[in-house]
Amino acid sequence: MITIGNLMNKNEKVLLYPGTFDPITLGHLDIVKRALLLADKLIVAVAINPNKEPLFSTEERMEMIRGATSGIDKLEITSYDGLTVHFAEKVGAGFIVRGLRAISDFEMEFQMALANRRLNDDIDTIFLMPSQEYTYLNSSLVREIVRLGGNVEGIVPPNVSEMLRKKFS
């Protein structure tokens, strides 16, 4: 027999999509779009990580996500520090969403998902794959292109492109 854990938690499907989002790219937004199809409520949360020195402040990163996703009712944008799984508990999320781009993401994501499960067996990680055109894309590539004077149209939303331009001008 299997015992099914805290299903109450999963009646309203609250999904948490955590990340650094420094800055948000069209790859992240592709995952947001897919997660919205599964969620009653999707919380996109900017992780405050004292070990990373992000280009954009937490507030700027949230602002860019808001600008790229305005008008979607069941979407919330916030930030958090500490363990993702503790934040998921706090906001009543039964699922953590992560994007899987390639095999190279797998090892780290697999390890993190199992560690989170150990911390709370009632919270599952859902992996979503982006559209193929975004599988090569990550935030550090975007930062590097702009730093070297390249054009990031078509890989980040227009409001992010504008913020990047200002940051490096």
Catalytic residues: 28, 52, 101, 139
Helices (H) and strands (E) in the chain, counts: 6, 5
Closest CA to 92 of 16, 4, 20, 5: 16
Taking CB under 6 A as the criterion, the residue among 27, 54, 94, 157 binding ligand ADP is: 27
Least Å from the CB of residue 51 to ligand ADP:
11
Taking CB under 6 A as the criterion, the residue among 62, 101, 120, 123 binding ligand ADP is: 101
Which lies closer to ligand ADP via its Cβ, residue 41 or residue 135? 135
Q: Which range in 2-10, 60-68, 132-140, 158-166 contacts ligand ADP by CB under 6 A? A: 132-140
- Establish if 20 lies at the interface with ligand ADP (CB under 6 A): yes
**What is the strand order of the sheet 95-99 is part of?**
75-81, 41-48, 14-19, 95-99, 124-128
Closest CA to 136 of 51, 25, 43, 33: 25
- Establish if 98 lies at the interface with ligand ADP (CB under 6 A): yes
Which lies closer to ligand ADP via its Cβ, residue 5 or residue 91? 91
